[in-house]
Structure 1
Amino acid sequence: MKKKVNKTIIHVLLILFAVVQIYPLIWLAGFSLKDNIEIFGGNVAGLPRHWKFENYVSAFTQAKVLEYFINSVLVTAVTIFVVVLLAATSAYAIERMIWRGRQTVMKLILLGLMVPIHAALLPLFMVLKNLHLLNTYLALIIPYVAFGIPMAVYIIASFLSSLPKELEEAAAIDGCGIFGIFFRVIFPLVKPAIATVAIFTYISSWNELMFAVTFISKQEFKTLTVGIMSMVGAYVTKWGEIGAGLVIATVPTILIYLLLSEQVQKSLVAGAVKG
């Protein structure tokens, strides 16, 4: 009986925690289907009295959310691909190959975790300006990759250290070269760690605002976060359209987590067992 009571209490607490976490998403969805009259008329938290699906149409057509969305997808996808490729190869070279100074190189890479993003804003702006890269996709991709690599290398290297080296020895006996061993044997085994890196990199790139505001001023290169911020008017702000833009920006994050959550859990479990 005591175990049943404890289990019931745990379930109730978990349900309450889930409701607290999910409610903001439900509120945002309802908010995006209201107009200013209803929002400022006292119905902020309740369901819409008049479902304004036109807010989504207006967000895509007038507010150019679709253009911002495509820019964010492009920048984020390239960033994730480059971070995963560079971090996986670097972590493999550091963790599985024997060469002088590899631990020193690892420490230098991890020093990147200690660099505040705000401290790098002005130097990056000057470098990108001198290289004529402002108002380009590279103005965002390069800093995102640079700040994403240290954590990615640490995660993948930690996962690689738990794999038996006999796998590589067997592949070498079968005639695989270094690239064959990495891409055919090791890379498929580190999918949980790669999924974790992909999610962390996605969240940091997709939601980033400071670099995007500073390095991008042209309309055609603005990402979704900057585009939604620019929807706030000087005199009139259509909050329902902003809510629609926020929903559009949130849905990909939820979908990506649902697709990769199992791999992330495997990576966390592997790290816990190793620890």
Structure 2
Amino acid sequence: MALPKRTIPIGTILLQAFLILVAITQIYPLIWLAFFSLKDNSEIFSGDVANLPKQFLWSNYAKALSEGHVLTYFFNSVFVTAVSIILVLILSSMTGYAITRMNWKLSGLTLTIILLGMMVPIHAALLPLFMVLKNLGLLNSYWSLIIPYVAFGIPMAVFILGSFFRGVPRELEEAAVIDGCGIYRTFFSIILPLVRPAISTVAIFTFLSCWNELMFAVTFINKESMQTLTVGMMSMVGTYITQWGIIGAGLMITTIPTIIIYLLLNKQVQKSMIAGAVKG
């Protein structure tokens, strides 16, 4: 007996076609950058920028790492971003837990003051931050970037983590206390594992904001040995001659960590979005 053919609704077909088109639109710039990074100036300016390279110049990557000091910039960006993510996660998780799960006066006011930080444009604090860091002697150091990144990352992180902490049943904490757990063990062993999707979301948002930030990095850091990738890429543009293929290689190196981080944490972010939608 032949099974009846399953018909696919026209709406599903149109939706899938639209999503494929969106995916191609999102992926194409990355493919174009990969081809661009393997060309030299003569091929780039000959008019066939979008075509495959006539000769794959893998030496552009070697020159970017050695002559362009991309490896130094890469290490600086990794260090600043990693420390910022760790501090944001530690401070915001403890703050969000204390505000949403503990009963104490002025907890609501404290949350309001912290969330006001989301309303302040990050570059509006550029001049005051510069003066404060100058008086503290922190200019041209990693801390001149880490401190502002953490300060501006905490409000959004507290907002995200706090909403997840509210959804955790209090019975879990009560059972942990009955079993002899203290406040710190309850927090680290019981509560944090339950909000891993939110932690991953905060980590990705913090990573993107720190990794791609330019204004603070170009203002607070003048030493070439301390510059991050965004500033380093900008400094590779020469006054008279610019090797665009090498710059493309540097940009490709800059983009790869973002892709890797998302591939590692995308499932957790999806869980966070679904959980947030269900709670709403």
TM-score > 0.5 by shorter chain: yes
User: How many percent of aligned residue pairs carry the same amino acid?
Assistant: 63
**Pick from 82, 85, 88: which aligns with 2:90?**
85
Specify the SS of the correspondent of 1:119. helix
Taking the aligned partners of 1:95 and 1:272, their CA distance within structure 2 comes to 20
Taking the aligned partners of 1:272 and 1:168, their CA distance within structure 2 comes to 25
Taking the aligned partners of 2:171 and 2:242, their CA distance within structure 1 comes to 62
Residue 246 (1) aligns with residue 221 (2): no
Partner residue, 2:3: none
Partner residue, 2:125: 120
**Pick from 156, 161, 165: which aligns with 2:161?**
156
Q: Which runs of structure 1 show a deviation greater than 6 angstroms over 4 or more consecutive aligned residues?
A: none
Query: Residue type matched to 1:231 in 2?
Result: M
Partner residue, 1:10: 15
Taking the aligned partners of 2:56 and 2:186, their CA distance within structure 1 comes to 56
Number of residues of Structure 1 aligned to a counterpart in Structure 2: 275
- 1:151-173, Cα deviation, whole Å (9 max, x unpaired): 00000000111111111000000
Taking the aligned partners of 2:216 and 2:52, their CA distance within structure 1 comes to 36
Taking the aligned partners of 1:263 and 1:66, their CA distance within structure 2 comes to 30
Paired residues for 1:184-223 under 5 Å: 184-223=189-228
**Pick from 45, 60, 64: which aligns with 1:59?**
64
Q: Shift in Å at residue 206 of structure 1? A: 0.2
Query: Which segments of 5 or more consecutive residues in structure 1 lack a partner in the other structure?
Result: none
Pick which of 39-48 and 148-157 moved more: 39-48
Q: Shift in Å at residue 9 of structure 1? A: 1.2
- TM-score, structure 1 as length reference: 0.99
Specify the SS of the correspondent of 1:118. helix
Residue 228 (1) aligns with residue 233 (2): yes
**Pick from 131, 134, 143: which aligns with 2:136?**
131
Q: Shift in Å at residue 4 of structure 1? A: 2.5
- 1:131-157, Cα deviation, whole Å (9 max, x unpaired): 000000000000000000000000000
- 1:62-96, Cα deviation, whole Å (9 max, x unpaired): 00000000000000000000000000000000000
Q: Considering only aligned residues, what root-mean-square deviation do their CA atoms show, in Å?
A: 0.9
Q: Shift in Å at residue 116 of structure 1? A: 1.1
Partner residue, 1:106: 111
Q: Shift in Å at residue 29 of structure 1? A: 0.3
Taking the aligned partners of 1:155 and 1:103, their CA distance within structure 2 comes to 16
Query: Residue type matched to 1:264 in 2?
Result: V
Query: Residue type matched to 1:234 in 2?
Result: T
Taking the aligned partners of 2:21 and 2:60, their CA distance within structure 1 comes to 31
Taking the aligned partners of 1:243 and 1:3, their CA distance within structure 2 comes to 43
Query: Which segments of 5 or more consecutive residues in structure 2 lack a partner in the other structure?
Result: 1-5
Taking the aligned partners of 2:134 and 2:152, their CA distance within structure 1 comes to 19
Specify the SS of the correspondent of 2:122. coil
Pick which of 166-175 and 8-17 moved more: 8-17
Q: Shift in Å at residue 175 of structure 1? A: 0.2
- TM-score, structure 2 as length reference: 0.97
